[in-house]
């Protein structure tokens, strides 16, 4: 039994270790090119959450990893079979309930650990600002952008070299041979403003890609994934310890 994983722990252990912080991993269920599993985002964010919470617990932080939310915002991928969408407004309703549960349990801090690019927790954090639970959010794939730049040759944002390497490291048994994957080529839009990134759109994924992949995965290796995940966990764990142990005084989160 790992005492920092809520699904595994028991009432006796929770009573002996009053929670200081809850961590909610939030993934998605969607296709990832032709080689990675639909649960890629959910499995990866769960494994990373487990590693981070283990490290934080070993440093004395009473942090609890909540069960992972497996449905992400995927309105623009529904042309692919069995992609599961949860609308942002539904996510808000779910998060509101989770926050109320934490509040009843006396937990006043929550970290959402995000594993899917379509999820955006910023507006939800704002709407729940007054909930009595202080919500922080972090997408694990943005934690070490500098390290990613050194490790990976080809960058994309969906089932690319990075995500495939992470899959080969964390759940190799679920990764099909890379020869099965396509190159992850994408189309550019007809608008320079969108291509330059200063106008944003929601990308129709079936027209953007051939088989849902964005970014060439062929150079992915388990070793690259291990190096990258190690860097992410090493950087994220101290924050989780600090956040868990922080006093919720009148000036929180600022230095008085």
Site residues for Zn ion per CB under 5 A: 40-41
Nearer to Zn ion, 50 or 163 (CB): 163
Nearer to Zn ion, 40 or 211 (CB): 40
**Structure-derived torsion over alpha carbons of residues 229, 231, 233, 235, reported in degrees to the nearest 10:** -150
Closest separation in Å from C-beta 212 to Zn ion: 10
Closest separation in Å from C-beta 25 to Zn ion: 13
Distance CA 179, CA 159 (A): 14
Beta bridge partners of 114: 26, 139
Closest separation in Å from C-beta 150 to Zn ion: 21
Nearer to Zn ion, 55 or 72 (CB): 72
Closest separation in Å from C-beta 31 to Zn ion: 10
Nearer to Zn ion, 63 or 220 (CB): 220
CB burial readout 178-201, b (16+ within 10 A) else e: beebbebebeeeeeeeeeeeeeee
Distance CA 32, CA 94 (A): 25
Nearer to Zn ion, 20 or 40 (CB): 40
Would residue 184 be called left, alpha or beta, if left means φ above 0 and alpha means ψ between -120 and 50 degrees?
left
Residue showing the smallest CB distance to Zn ion in the complex: 41
Closest separation in Å from C-beta 46 to Zn ion: 13
Burial (CB count <10 Å: 0-12, 13-18, 19+), residue 251: exposed
């Amino acid at each position: 039994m790992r005492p920092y994983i809520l699904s595994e722990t028991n009432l006796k252990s929770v009573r002996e270790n009053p929670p200081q912080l809850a961590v909610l991993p939030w993934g998605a269920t969607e296709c990832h090119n032709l080689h990675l599993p639909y649960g890629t985002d959910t499995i990866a964010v769960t494994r990373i959450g487990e590693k981070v919470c283990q490290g934080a617990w070993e440093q004395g932080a009473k942090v609890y990893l909540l069960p992972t939310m497996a449905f992400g915002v995927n309105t623009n991928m529904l042309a692919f079979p069995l992609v599961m969408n949860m609308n942002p407004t539904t996510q808000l309703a779910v998060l509101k309930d989770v926050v109320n549960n934490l509040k009843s349990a006396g937990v006043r801090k929550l970290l959402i650990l995000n594993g899917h690019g379509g999820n955006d927790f910023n507006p939800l954090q704002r709407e729940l600002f007054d909930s009595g639970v202080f919500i922080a959010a972090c997408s694990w794939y943005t934690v070490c952008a500098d390290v990613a730049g050194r490790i990976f040759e080809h960058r994309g944002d969906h089932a690319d070299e990075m995500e495939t390497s992470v899959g080969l490291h964390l759940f190799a048994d679920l990764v099909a041979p890379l020869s099965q994957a396509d190159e992850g080529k994408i189309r550019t839009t007809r608008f320079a403003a969108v291509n330059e990134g200063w106008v944003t759109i929601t990308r129709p994924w079936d027209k953007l890609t051939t088989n849902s992949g964005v970014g060439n995965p062929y150079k992915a290796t388990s070793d690259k994934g291990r190096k990258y995940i190690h860097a992410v966990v090493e950087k994220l764990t101290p924050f989780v310890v600090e956040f868990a142990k922080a006093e919720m005084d009148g000036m929180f989160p600022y230095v008085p």
